[in-house]
Amino acid sequence: MTTQTLASAMAATLRPLRLNFAQVCIWCGYRWCTSPRCVGLHEKSVWIVCIDCDGFGVLGPLDACHCVHGLMEATPAVDSAELRRPLPVYRPEDDEPEFMVTPRSAGRP
Ligand SMILES: [Zn+2]
Ligand SMILES: [Zn+2]
């Protein structure tokens, strides 16, 4: 599997849009927000690929990740080892069948 370290992924600035696709501010939750506070927070914020879902947005077949479109805000508490871990190119689960087909028992109506 081809991998890339998070550090190299960070070389390209990772940052979600301040207003989500529905135009709601990710900082204050107000639609069409123009608050200087939110703009400032957003400009200073540092984002990394989500350490829970690797940026794929899902934790399992039924669990969505609560990150921001695959990114999470970095904090000083982030272990530097997290920045050097290899990133998968696709979800490992995609290699596995999502469901099993169980054949009907034969010979009974
Ligand atoms: Zn805002
Ligand atoms: Zn996530």
The per-residue pLDDT for range 52-83, each reduced to its tens digit, is: 999 999 998 889 999 999 999 987 666 777 77
Centre of ligand 2 to C-alpha 102, Å, is 32
Q: Which residues have their alpha-adjacent CB atom under 5 A from ion ligand 2?
A: 50, 52-53, 65, 67
Task: Give residue 81's domain range.
Answer: 3-86
How much is the pTM? 0.62
Instruction: Write out pLDDT tens, residues 15-30.
Output: 999 999 999 999 999 9
Give yes or no for residue 50 having a pLDDT over 80.
yes
Does some domain include residue 20?
Answer: yes
Q: What is the mean pLDDT of the chain?
A: 81
Name the domain count of the chain: 1
**Burial group, residue 48, by CB count within 10 angstroms (0-12, 13-18, 19+):** buried
Instruction: Give the other-Cβ count within 10 Å of 29's Cβ.
Output: 10
Does some domain include residue 24?
Answer: yes
Does some domain include residue 94?
Answer: no
pLDDT in the model for residue 67: 93
Does some domain include residue 9?
Answer: yes
Percentage of the chain beyond pLDDT 70 is 72
Centre of ligand 2 to C-alpha 92, Å, is 15
Closest to 45 in 3D by CA, of 21, 24, 22, 17: 17
Please tell me the distance from the alpha carbon of residue 109 to that of residue 95, in angstroms, as a whole number. Answer: 36
Does some domain include residue 104?
Answer: no
- Give the number of the ligand closest to the Cα of residue 48: 2
Does some domain include residue 92?
Answer: no
Does some domain include residue 105?
Answer: no
Give yes or no for residue 5 having a pLDDT over 70.
no
Does some domain include residue 23?
Answer: yes
